[in-house]
Amino acid sequence: MISKKMQAALNKQINAELYSSYLYLSMAAWAQGKNLAGIASWMEIQAKEEYGHGMKFYGHIQERGGAVTLEAIAKPTASWKSALELFKAVAVHEAHVTSLIHGLMDLAVAEKDYASAEFLNWFVKEQVEEEANAALIVAKLEMVGDSKSGLLMLDGKIGKRGQS
């Protein structure tokens, strides 16, 4: 059985993951509005992944005999100055999510909740990947700079995500 403290923290993380999904969907819509279809597609895939993360927490709470409580999802930012600023925001957001996951891991260890710690391990690894993906795209967008043709080419490459 899951402790009340752990249950509350995991429920909060469902909200954080669903907010992430909503944020990436907002980013997808912004990119589509700028005719950056590749980035929009990347963001849509990301939004689905985040929904999946939320559902993993949902499943874990239930599997442990806990109760799921859903709270309101905050309104996400809707516009960014450029594709570079967009992916910088992704990087900042993922660093924030990593700190949330680490906080949950700290709590699981403190509570001797080894099942939750094992469950959270997947997210610790996932966050390494999420941060690395964002950092790589930020670096590429920085290389492209103000070049419109460079951005167009990069947009096509970013859009290849999930197609291989």
**Binding-site ranges for ligand FEO (CB under 6 A):** 17, 20, 50, 53, 94, 97, 130
Nearer to ligand FEO, 94 or 155 (CB): 94
- Provide the minimum distance between the beta carbon of 130 and ligand FEO in the complex, in angstroms, as a whole number: 4
Residues whose CB falls within 8 Å of the CB of residue 155, separated by 6 or more in sequence, listed in order: 36, 37, 38, 39, 83
User: CB nearest ligand FEO: which residue?
Assistant: 53
At 149, which helix (H) or strand (E)? helix 148-158
- Provide the minimum distance between the beta carbon of 5 and ligand FEO in the complex, in angstroms, as a whole number: 22
Report the C-alpha gap between 96 and 5 in whole angstroms.
21
Q: Tell me how far CA of residue 104 lies from CA of 55, 62, 149, in angstroms.
A: 16, 17, 43
Nearer to ligand FEO, 61 or 151 (CB): 61
Nearer to ligand FEO, 20 or 26 (CB): 20
